[in-house]
Amino acid sequence: MEMINTKQKFEITSVIFKNRIVMAPMVPFHLKANDDGSMSAKQIAHYSDFASRGMGLIISQSLAVSNKHSIDGGSCVYDRDLHEYYLREIVQKCHENKVQFFAQLAYPSISYFKGGSINDLSTSEIVTIREEFIKAALICEEAGCDGIELHGANGFFLNMITSDIANSRSDQYGGSVLSRARLIKEIIEGIKKSLKDDFLISFRFGCSWDLILDLEIINELVESGLDFIHICSGIPHLKSLELSSDYEFNQTVYTASFLKKNINIPIIAVSDIRTMNRGDFLLENKVCDLVAYGRPFLADKNFIMESMKNPDYKPCFNCKYCFWYSDNNKCPAQRKLQNIQ
């Protein structure tokens, strides 16, 4: 039986990914959107450039589904007239290179780690947000995107909704696991009802580190027709998982491996995977179905090409502070590649 690796194609619902390598959603903080929420020419060029770098899937930075608050990077997808064209341009570049493209959708500004709260929103406000997500997905589909990813990780809005720590609502969107999953289920069902079957939905899930609790939430979401689960960090219910000293990955990847054994939809693993060899190991050991890389692509756009020559190629220096949050020109990996002293 042939071993699965990052170079092999992956197919779901007639959508074919030319390989199992994903460029994870990352905000290029040095590039800002236009005032109307459309991507600037530099942001479009950023994605168009990456489209030629060999991955099977690109997931965009978070795009705001509402104009009520700001979002990192400033890019939005709430107005068809203002925002569809830039997505269409990026999708065209991706498809020219046989790369699939998902737009990551997020409700902007509200963050658990910045003191935000979802508990003061009225039920009608929550329903409005639900409809904003569904409308944004429709715009993405019309622009030619292959799917969307709902951003439910890193302490942001949909992560707070699922968390029993952040969510103390007393209406139908708070309380039990089912109630905390309800909004996301309604969003998924609303998108599935309106769009064709081969328009895919991924959910970037923020782990609580309580494996059983995380599984209960995900099982609720899977019932709604979700196509992918993208495992990421979230609002911690436990401080950490107890991992054996010889385990070579982190607790986010460990959670992916646990969930892979217990759910029947594809899993995207991410977080400190670093090299193609380590990604191949995860696939060979059935930890996940696709492998997402973030900082390796920021450190070297040619990460895939270089990894084909050396699967242990690790371009990112793992700096304590990542300069991509402020001035990417100071990234030491970039400076080394450009021979800047």
Label the pairing between strands 200-207 and 21-23: unpaired
Size of the chain in residues: 341
* Residue ranges covered by each domain of the chain: 10-293
- CATH topology for 10-293 is TIM Barrel (3.20.20)
Confidence of residue 277 (pLDDT cuts 50, 70, 90): very high
Residues 85-111 have a mean pLDDT of: 97
238: three-class secondary structure by DSSP: coil
Assigned token pair, 42: 């530099």
Report the chain's terminal Cα–Cα distance, integer Å: 49
**What pLDDT, in 10s, does the model give residues 160-177?**
999 999 999 999 999 999
The three-class DSSP label of residue 198 is coil
To the nearest 10 degrees (0 to 180), the angle between helices 276-284 and 251-260 is 30
Tokens for 165?
Answer: 């720590």
Q: Residue 341 — pLDDT band, cuts 50, 70, 90?
A: very low
Please say whether the beta carbons of 228 and 25 come within 8 A. Answer: no
* pLDDT over threshold 70, residue 340: no
Q: What is the mean pLDDT of residues 191-215?
A: 94
Q: What confidence score (pLDDT) does residue 2 get?
A: 62
Q: What is the pLDDT of residue 336?
A: 86
Smallest CA-to-CA distance from 303 within 129, 95, 55 is with: 55
Tens of pLDDT, residue by residue over 246-266, are 999 999 999 999 999 999 999
**Residue 234, pLDDT above cutoff 70:** yes
Express each pLDDT in 43-72 by its tens digit: 999 999 999 999 999 999 999 999 988 899
What lies within 8 Å, CB to CB, of 1 at 6+ separation is none
Q: Which pLDDT score, from 0 to 100, does residue 260 have?
A: 96
Phi-psi bin for 42: left (phi > 0), alpha (psi -120 to 50), beta? alpha
Q: Are 151 and 62 in contact (CB under 8 A)?
A: yes
Q: What is the pLDDT of residue 110?
A: 85
Give me the pLDDT at residue 323, please. 86
3-class state of residue 324 by DSSP: helix
In this predicted structure, what is the pLDDT of residue 301? 95
